[in-house]
Structure 1
Amino acid sequence: MERRKLRVLRALVNISLISVVFGAILNLLSGILGNYYVLIIGFLVALIIFYCYRRADSEAASSTSYYLWRYLPTLLFISMPIITYWYSRDAQWALADIISGVQISCSFVLPVLCLLYVERVLKNAQQ
């Protein structure tokens, strides 16, 4: 595959990752915090992740700094809303909570992990 197509595909994966993380923050924290706070937090997180992705792109794919700039912010910002959501619940686990956990896993965690893998393969193919 030519280099330009690989760059376009990586850009699409990056946009998808940022939108999934932004959606996770909006979805999970909107019931806990106010809507304006959630929007502000979501935009700040999206900007931070975008900056980290730009820094990661300047590193070699095999370096430790690439992994830190690429994976740490994404996993941190996808896990923080999930942990906050689960700790805000006081009741014991019911069937609705289990369904909610499966929904969160299928809607946010699995797509992020798959997109991170695709981005890694595209980065290796580009070099």
Structure 2
Amino acid sequence: MENLNYLIIGLIKDRHSSWPFAGIAWSLISFLLRDMFLSSLFSRLRSLDKDVRRDVKRAYFAKALWGWLYFLISLGLFVVFWRFSPLETLRLTDYGVLAGALVFSQLFALAHLQAVGLALLSVLKQTARLESGVRPS
């Protein structure tokens, strides 16, 4: 336990070389939050027909590009904050970089939720057209 304490203190004090660990921690937290939002949606997709589920996932992956872009921006801003901002004397720009990372992190989650919603809507429209006999355009 004492070794872990030294490791954590070393990572916090030597921020110029510990930025990969901070980036990994930011990524893990972001993915856990994303999973909290999307896991219930994807688990409920299992109750749908296999073809519908496949179409929803395909449409989701096509529409989720903005979410991944927001994730990369938030990760980059956090790594810049971690690498170049002294914790003892934070300046206004440091708070701005951290706030930007948090905003883009929220946009990351919202973009993925929007992608799931749009994917579900497009598959529902396609299914409704097929059931009503109208050819898809």
- Give TM-score scaled by structure 1 length: 0.37
Of structures 1 and 2, the one with the larger relative CO (CA 8 A, separation 6+) is 1
- Give TM-score scaled by structure 2 length: 0.35
Decide which structure has the larger Cα Rg and report it. 2
